Amino acid sequence: MKKKIIVVGLGNFGGNLAIKLTEDGHEVFGVDRNPSKVDYIQNKINHAIGLDASDDSCINHLPIDDCDLVVIAIGENIGASVTTTALIKKHYSGRLIVRSLSLLHKTILEAMQIREIIEPEAEYAVELANRIMVKGAIKSMELHGEYEIVEVNIPKKIIGLTLADIDIKKKYKAHIITIIKQIEKKNYLGSLYFDKEVHGILHSDYQFTADDLLLVFGLKVNIDKFIEDCS
């Protein structure tokens, strides 16, 4: 469903978020007080607006009243982030996501009763640590508790086998949710690159191939043992 989203702060995180949301079909209003950041992104998103969202008089220039979500992605100035958050809350009662820059910043946001606080650097650090821990991991998403979902390169010993053959559920108490195919494509310059396509639900007779990436759910220790045993 298409949404109208305001992203305040167009640095590396906010800018990439705004572009991705636009590519996903949402109507995005990117806001930053830095003219160079606005200029850079103006052809990549629906609306690029140059204004200081920490100035109360500027808030009225944003489509606050009929937007579905506001993301405050300011990444350099805690004071500007806190002030902007306070002003947005004053004018807007909908869904609000705010980027935290430090433990103190997070504490302030919690005191302001912000329910959705994100810490992209900390979250990426956790993902990277998990990728380092699990051999062959490409991406990792840690879930609540001790479980996680890991995207891994296919271990050599299971190439040519079926899902029923490896019986990962019984042997390792883990599940292969699906596989991701690496599809060779050409870009507009004619250069080859690999894109990814999700296969869908796996059936017991699915036969694994060398270009498969596995999406595995389970405990880190069990996923790691599965990869180690089958490599």
Q: What is the DSSP string of 145-195?
A: TTEEEEEEEPPGGGTT-BHHHH-HHHHHS-EEEEEEEEEEEE-TTS-EEEE
pTM: 0.67
Domain count, the chain: 2
| 207/144 Cα distance (integer angstroms) | 31
Q: What is the pLDDT of residues 173-188, one digit of tens each?
A: 999 999 988 777 777 6
> 102 exposed, middle or buried (CB, 10 Å; 0-12, 13-18, 19+)?
exposed
| 130/132 Cα distance (integer angstroms) | 5
Closest CA relative to residue 59, chosen from 35, 83, 34: 83
Report residue 158 CA to chain centroid gap: 30
DSSP string, 59-91: HTTS-GGG-SEEEE---S-HHHHHHHHHHHHHH
Last residue within a domain, chosen from 118, 138, 163? 118
Last residue within a domain, chosen from 71, 86, 118? 118
Show pLDDT as tens, one digit a residue, over the chain (231 residues). 789 999 999 999 999 999 999 999 999 999 999 999 999 999 999 999 999 999 998 988 899 989 999 999 998 899 999 999 999 999 999 999 999 999 899 999 999 999 999 998 877 777 667 666 666 677 777 676 678 888 888 999 999 999 999 989 999 999 999 998 877 777 766 777 677 788 888 899 999 999 899 999 998 889 888 988 898
In this structure, the answer to whether residues 112 and 42 fall within a common structural domain is yes
b/e map 111-138, b = 16+ CB within 10 Å? eeebeeebbeeeeeeebeebbeebebbe
In this structure, the answer to whether residues 101 and 134 fall within a common structural domain is no
In this structure, the answer to whether residues 85 and 135 fall within a common structural domain is no
The answer to whether 16 and 45 are in contact (CB under 8 A) is no
